[in-house]
Amino acid sequence: MFDLKTAAWVVVAMLHLAVIMRADMLEGRDSSARAAWVLLLVTLPVVGVVLYLLFGEPWISQDFRSRERHIQHQLRPLAPRTDGKAATAGPTANAFRTFEGASRWPAATGNTARLAPDSDGAIDMLVADIDAASDTVHLSFYIWLGDHNGTRVAEAVCRAARRGVTCRIAADAIGSRGMIRSPHWTAMRDAGARLCSLLQAPLGLGFLVGHRVDLRNHRKIAVIDGRIAYCGSQNCADPAFLVKRRFAPWVDILVRFEGPVVRQTEIIFATAWTLETGEDLRPVMAAEPPGPSANGFSAIATGTGPLSPRGTMTDMFGAVLAAAQGSVTITTPYFAPDPPLIGAIVAAARRGVRVRIVFPHRNDNRIVGAISRAYYPVLAGAGVRIFEFRGGLLHAKTMVVDDTLALIGSSNMDHRSLDLNFENNVLLESAQLAAELSERQNCWIADATEVDRDALTSRPIARRFADNLLTIIAAVF
């Protein structure tokens, strides 16, 4: 007899089948992600359906997309127009062209930079620049804590706002929710700063604002007076990182730039700010962009995110790896690569490039940490040297190629950074700065343990099964 209970089960089964078909047929999804979701849906029917409906698709409303495209169309002409000759010759040419294709502006020549000595020193530099600001302070952080360093920056913003500097302060609604609810946030508003909580989702209902709940603004941007910009991995917090103190210290990197690349960085900030607040920042950037230095280097700032063509961040990583002739050193805390990215790393090692990757020994994200280790045998088999940093959580995202080309920024080598988060990175060609970054990487390696390649090739069957399963589901995380 066909009763209500039977009817309910039929409906659930049909819904389950429909979600499986959707996961399999979604356009633009790579085969590994397709397989991962289908496997999850088949093995965990109810839980898998709920997870897929929440996180299975990087959906963003058409209105949100069209507004972002319109803002970019308005702001992009403000980028400096240079011939980019220094950036388009030799083995690095295709890397810069890939970044130019993603940003839709040319690489900028004539930039200078200074590498912060450490996380506390980076905050010292930023606070000094805010205290010296005379026109504008633009800040955007994924995580901003109300600890010592976070408070110092908030107080510097208050001082700047009180003396008449226009301060536009943005923080991710989830990553910085503690700061946004704190007296420091109120104090900045009371001092006259303009504040924005990025990618809010009221009551966790993303459809109310036109985007998936877990899409986050992971960028770390500071632009002072339109002439100084910071880029790197560092959030606005102490190295002790109190919200996850047992993994401390968090080891980061931050670079202070001057030159035309500053304008590019400010456009990345302005795009998100205008999208969220509606304020048109074109008049703010009406003045000529910072001029090039005669002895400066080539660089390009690029913002990526779920509105970028699929695979954009992977293409950018791959282009930098393809430029390598002799050596590549990578640091990343979260490693769950898609097939093209793992393929690019393996290909570099197989053609004779000396590839080193440094991961944190203890990862605050256990699942991603396990996925990272699951890829060790593949990497080691290609000749990649793998190190695990033991001096805290190595959070820096860096890549140095042939002691001349370097990539720094907010992007990890995982699914979130490759496809879901809004990220910002700078590609640069400078023997001096690349040498400084390489020296910093070597310091981290000195405080790391190299993974035994032979041990990886003689794993027990159970471990190999678990590792292979983790690489299959990596696309979900």
Spell out the alpha helix ranges (H) of 62-182: 62-75, 93-103, 119-132, 148-162, 177-180
Instruction: Respond yes or no: is residue 85 known to be catalytic.
Output: no
Instruction: Respond yes or no: is residue 395 known to be catalytic.
Output: yes
**Cβ-contact 254, 232 below 8 angstroms:** yes
Q: How far apart are CA 206 and CA 298, in angstroms?
A: 40
Q: Which of 238, 315, 364, 402 is catalytic?
A: 402
Q: Which of 395, 414, 415, 419 is catalytic?
A: 395
Per-residue pLDDT tens over the stretch 322-369: 999 999 999 999 999 999 999 999 999 999 999 999 999 999 988 888
Spell out the alpha helix ranges (H) of 163-295: 177-180, 183-191, 261-277
Q: Go through the domains of the chain in sequence order and give each one's CATH number.
A: 4-55 (no CATH), 62-78+113-291 (3.30.870.10), 312-476 (3.30.870.10)
Mean pLDDT over the full length of the chain: 90
Q: What is the DSSP letter of 183?
A: H
Q: What is the pLDDT of residue 321?
A: 98
Least confident among 77-86, 136-145, 316-325, 355-364: 77-86
Q: How far apart are CA 41 and CA 47, in angstroms?
A: 8
Q: What is the DSSP letter of 374?
A: H
Q: What is the DSSP letter of 417?
A: I
Q: What is the pLDDT of residue 84?
A: 45
Q: Which of 129, 220, 238, 415 is catalytic?
A: 220
Instruction: Respond yes or no: is residue 5 known to be catalytic.
Output: no
Higher pLDDT, residue 462 or 153? 153
As a whole number of Å, the CA-based R_g of the chain is 23
Band the pLDDT of 63: cuts 50, 70, 90. confident
**Other beta carbons within 10 Å of 339:** 15
Q: What pTM, to 2 d.p., does this model score? A: 0.91
Q: Which of 138, 184, 211, 397 is catalytic?
A: 397
Least Cα distance to 476 among 368, 369, 374 occurs for: 368
* Average pLDDT for 461-468: 71
| pLDDT at residue 69 is higher than 70 | yes
Amino acid at position 121, single letter: G
Contacts 24+ apart (CB under 8 A), 174-182: 174/199, 174/216, 175/141, 175/142, 175/143, 175/144, 175/216, 175/217, 175/218, 175/235, 176/141, 176/142, 176/143, 176/144, 176/145, 178/145, 178/146, 178/243, 179/144, 179/145, 179/146, 179/150, 179/154, 182/146
Q: Which of 118, 135, 225, 447 is catalytic?
A: 225
Per-residue pLDDT tens over the stretch 208-263: 566 677 789 999 999 999 999 999 999 999 999 888 888 889 999 999 999 999 99
Q: What is the pLDDT of residue 286?
A: 87
Instruction: Respond yes or no: is residue 225 known to be catalytic.
Output: yes
Q: Which of 138, 184, 211, 218 is catalytic?
A: 218
Instruction: Respond yes or no: is residue 218 known to be catalytic.
Output: yes
- From the number of C-beta atoms within 10 Å of its C-beta (0-12, 13-18, 19+), residue 139 rates as buried
| pLDDT at residue 87 is higher than 70 | no
